[in-house]
Structure 1
């Protein structure tokens, strides 16, 4: 009987810790794991990154060059429920799936920007970008152009020849930015 009483006395503390953990993961910061080589040489496969969610919480647009985690399911609306069920603690309880929903990419364009890729070079608003962080020059491809709409960003991987990014997904809605990992 004493053991049961001791166990039940811990329930409020465990419940508070659980709720606090969810709050921190939804609004403050969250860890993610790099899957694949799309951000090489900046980030390596299986590397852990910790993203700040404060910019998202306070609706602050990331800066050019920031590394962001985005929800790649751009053709669906995100809900607050998504933020809850995607928390590591909830994934642990539910039995985490191995889906590749979240991509880690670099911000290249913001609302109103015109992004062009021509002759293996990225241009923002007509100016060629200086990108010392990329792994190698892009393979030759068809020239492309995007005008970034309001509340969207344009992202690319640092390993341009091995990255599924805005060239495939299109501009990313602001509410699909999960967090920002600022590497300076």
Structure 2
């Protein structure tokens, strides 16, 4: 089972808000009434510790009052503005490495309700070359990250490890053979709509050929580690309804608990 942090955050925020409201509407008036009765009995206004003791909130109410504004701000920021993600696989090498922590712009493709992912405000549409985070069509509890290579109406062909968009081959420029002596992998610059990004191609991995026409409201995505990526060539198109946001920047790299976080590779994602 996958951990749905968005759902947990919504539930915890709602619980804190409800508890705070119950205390404010039900128990706070009773505390004020108890104070008034104590002052009437004493024949004077109570001050200091006496007053504080009668008006003191129970622990659960004080915690809810303190946590609700913080949780609410985090919920708004994470749901509608920016959300952090960690790269879990090598499918986007060399652009993104395992252990990269990225920031995803949640409002670039429109505002969506948390958990339901229903769009409530439209904005930009994904463009060829965008690196996007989306819910995996075969299991929407999992987030994937890939590069958009085909938008609605495009005809995408992948042949002999070369990408064709509407019949036009996307130019590949060799940068390095890795390792140089007996290369098993090629590092290349690929031009997609004239914009460059780097990709890996395995020398010995079998070719996956095919042609796909992108339907309305869907996108065709590939990993930059072309021969080591499960993407639209395997499971089909990404529906617009499953978009999460645009990957905008790497803000930290952290290999794991036995290493130190590395902030030296902070960069925009191209």
TM-score normalised by the shorter chain: which range applies?
0.7 to 0.9
Q: SS of the counterpart of 2:201?
A: coil
Q: Is the counterpart of residue 12 in structure 1 residue 76 in structure 2?
A: no
Tell me how far apart the structure 2 counterparts of residues 151 and 16 of structure 1 sit (CA, whole Å).
37
Q: SS of the counterpart of 1:18?
A: helix
The 8 Å contact of residues 161 and 208 in structure 2, kept in 1 or not, is answered as no
Q: Is the counterpart of residue 24 in structure 1 residue 89 in structure 2?
A: no
The 8 Å contact of residues 146 and 224 in structure 2, kept in 1 or not, is answered as yes
Q: CA deviation at 1:64?
A: 1.4
RCO higher in structure (CA 8 A, sep ≥6): 1
Work out which of the two has the higher radius of gyration on C-alpha atoms and give 1 or 2.
Answer: 2
Tell me how far apart the structure 2 counterparts of residues 43 and 171 of structure 1 sit (CA, whole Å).
22
Name the count of aligned residue pairs: 161
The 8 Å contact of residues 119 and 140 in structure 1, kept in 2 or not, is answered as no
Instruction: Determine the structure 2 residue equivalent to 1:155.
Output: 221
Tell me how far apart the structure 2 counterparts of residues 142 and 164 of structure 1 sit (CA, whole Å).
11
Q: Is the counterpart of residue 40 in structure 1 residue 88 in structure 2?
A: no
Instruction: Determine the structure 1 residue equivalent to 2:126.
Output: 62
Q: CA deviation at 1:6?
A: 8.3
Q: CA deviation at 1:46?
A: 1.6
- Superposed CA RMSD in Å reads 2.4
Q: CA deviation at 1:9?
A: 4.3
Deviations 1:139-177 (A, max 9, x none): 442420111111111110000111111111211001211
Deviations 1:85-117 (A, max 9, x none): xxxxxxxxxxxxxxxx11111111100000001
Q: CA deviation at 1:5?
A: 3.3
Instruction: Report the TM-score when normalising by structure 1.
Output: 0.77
After superposing on structure 2, the runs of 4+ consecutive aligned residues of structure 1 that deviate more than 6 Å are: none
Tell me how far apart the structure 2 counterparts of residues 123 and 137 of structure 1 sit (CA, whole Å).
19
List gaps (5 residues or longer) in structure 1: 83-100
Tell me how far apart the structure 1 counterparts of residues 129 and 169 of structure 2 sit (CA, whole Å).
14
Tell me how far apart the structure 1 counterparts of residues 215 and 123 of structure 2 sit (CA, whole Å).
16
List gaps (5 residues or longer) in structure 2: 1-51, 112-121, 172-189, 191-196, 249-268
